[in-house]
Amino acid sequence: MEIAAAGHAASGYADAVEEVAALLYAAARKAGEPDWALRLSRENFRILQVWLARAAEAGSALAERWSADLERAAEVRRALPQPDPEWTAIDPPGDARLSDDALGYRAYTREFDEEVAACDLADDLTAAELSRQLENELELLPPEPDVSGEADLRGSVVTLLIDNSGSMRGHNVKVAAVVAATLADRIIRAGGMVEILGFTTRSWKGGRVHEQWLRDGRPARPGRLNELRHVVYKAWNEPLEGPSGRLGVMLKEALLKENIDGEALAWAYRRVLAVPAVARQILVLSDGAPVDGATDAVRGQENLLRSHLTAAIAAIEEHGLVGLAALGIGHDPSGFYRHSATCADALDGVAAGWRIITERGQATR
């Protein structure tokens, strides 16, 4: 009786493991052919490998076949554009305009600033729902044209830096997410590398930084008075996850707060210089100028945030190491950026963004 019960339990365990593995496998394959493996985060790819191995060990013949399929997919994954051993990173130039005390600009404290992966900003159920919303938006675009002959971006890395401010809620952030997903896919297909970053704050009206300033007795000229949140949606050496990945987190309304553009641009600049490449670009997607309620209330009369953004742009352009441009979403960014375009919707944004990337890509080589 005990032997029979043990056998039944073992059978139940094997069935349960196979069922979990089957669900994970089906969800992964749903991302599309032939590059479904490229659309999984490193975490999800590893989890799938683990569960398929467990199911195979439990005697699942299906899992053995799926594991072989996953290995073939891993070969596709390894075919992502990779830096040539001869390419090098660049040390950021020393320039006061990209650091504290630039034009009187500084952070009151950086204790509460955060750089975070997008996957840590939403639980699995929320992320899945947001991804579904992004998939729906992407499906509204007409079929992608064949752009394989339009550009050769081998040796190039492009950073898409996206404004995640409160004013982006609704239409604008959907446009930004769709444009970023589509441009990133094109860049990879053209042989380039791409990083997708976002910038906002952790709180409205200053949060813990403003509270600390108040406790300190409101010292004069305190500098930036909010806590930054810089979001990594896709690092340059990670696969593009597409509509089923972490870009959907951008649609989470609670994420979108204030925007401190100058420091975000300096952050993206340091990151893109660290990538081994022969050409580098930053494309900023934004719907307006820097705004932070706490900082503006104290230093707004000095245009502190706007002045710092202008200084950061000027420094990057003078260095000549990175091609810099902006795509305004329902907003003309030419008051800040020398190279820019404006779009009203995702279709227009993809066309304008791709034109900037291909033209600027040639200019920065």
Q: Convert the pLDDT of each residue in 350-362 to its tens digit.
A: 999 999 999 876 5
CA distances from 281 to 196, 265, 275 (A): 12, 12, 11
Phi, psi of 86 (to 5 degrees): -85, -15
228 and 182 share a domain?
yes
- Polymer length of the chain: 365
pLDDT (0 to 100) of residue 30:
61
pLDDT (0 to 100) of residue 78:
63
Domain end (from 30, 46, 78): 78
CA distances from 225 to 67, 101, 218, 246, 304 (A): 51, 14, 11, 29, 11
> Are residues 166 and 280 in contact, defined by beta-carbon separation less than 8 angstroms?
no
187 and 273 share a domain?
yes
Domain end (from 44, 78, 112): 78
326 and 208 share a domain?
yes
In a domain, 88, yes or no: no
Write the burial class of residue 304 (CB in 10 Å: 0-12 exposed, 13-18 middle, 19+ buried).
buried
pLDDT (0 to 100) of residue 29:
66
The token pair that represents 344 in the structure block: 């009203």
Structural domain boundaries, residue 269: 96-363
pLDDT (0 to 100) of residue 79:
61
pLDDT (0 to 100) of residue 103:
59
pLDDT (0 to 100) of residue 361:
62
290 and 149 share a domain?
yes
Write the burial class of residue 169 (CB in 10 Å: 0-12 exposed, 13-18 middle, 19+ buried).
middle
In a domain, 223, yes or no: yes
Residue with tokens 């196979």: 18
pLDDT (0 to 100) of residue 214:
95
pLDDT (0 to 100) of residue 6:
33
17 and 130 share a domain?
no
pLDDT (0 to 100) of residue 243:
36
pLDDT (0 to 100) of residue 151:
83
As a whole number of angstroms, the distance between CA 232 and CA 234 comes to 6
pLDDT (0 to 100) of residue 40:
61
pLDDT (0 to 100) of residue 100:
66
As a whole number of angstroms, the distance between CA 112 and CA 226 comes to 9
Read off the pTM: 0.80
Domain end (from 47, 78, 109): 78
120 and 68 share a domain?
no
In a domain, 89, yes or no: no
In a domain, 84, yes or no: no
As a whole number of angstroms, the distance between CA 72 and CA 66 comes to 10
In a domain, 108, yes or no: yes
pLDDT (0 to 100) of residue 301:
78
Closest CA to 194 of 117, 283, 112, 131: 283
Residue type for position 15: D
In a domain, 86, yes or no: no
pLDDT (0 to 100) of residue 55:
80
Tell me, letter by letter, the H, E, C secondary structure of 90-110: CCCCCCHHHCCCECCECECCC
pLDDT (0 to 100) of residue 9:
41
Residues of the chain with pLDDT under 50: 1-10, 31, 34, 242-244, 363
Q: Give the containing element (helix H, strand E) for 284.
A: strand 279-286
205 and 352 share a domain?
yes
The token pair that represents 314 in the structure block: 């000027």
| 193-201: strand order across its sheet | 114-117, 228-234, 193-201, 156-163, 279-286, 323-329, 340-343
111 and 257 share a domain?
yes
pLDDT (0 to 100) of residue 77:
62
Count Cα atoms within 13 angstroms, Cβ side, for 193: 25
In a domain, 198, yes or no: yes
Which CATH number covers residue 135?
3.40.50.410
Residues 138-165 have pLDDT tens digits of 888 888 777 666 788 999 999 999 999 9
As a whole number of angstroms, the distance between CA 328 and CA 25 comes to 39
E strand spans, 140-273: 156-163, 193-201, 228-234
Residue type for position 304: L
Q: Give the containing element (helix H, strand E) for 139.
A: helix 124-139
The number of distinct structural domains making up the chain is 2
62 and 138 share a domain?
no
26 and 108 share a domain?
no
116 and 256 share a domain?
yes
144 and 282 share a domain?
yes
In a domain, 359, yes or no: yes
Q: What is the DSSP letter of 142?
A: P
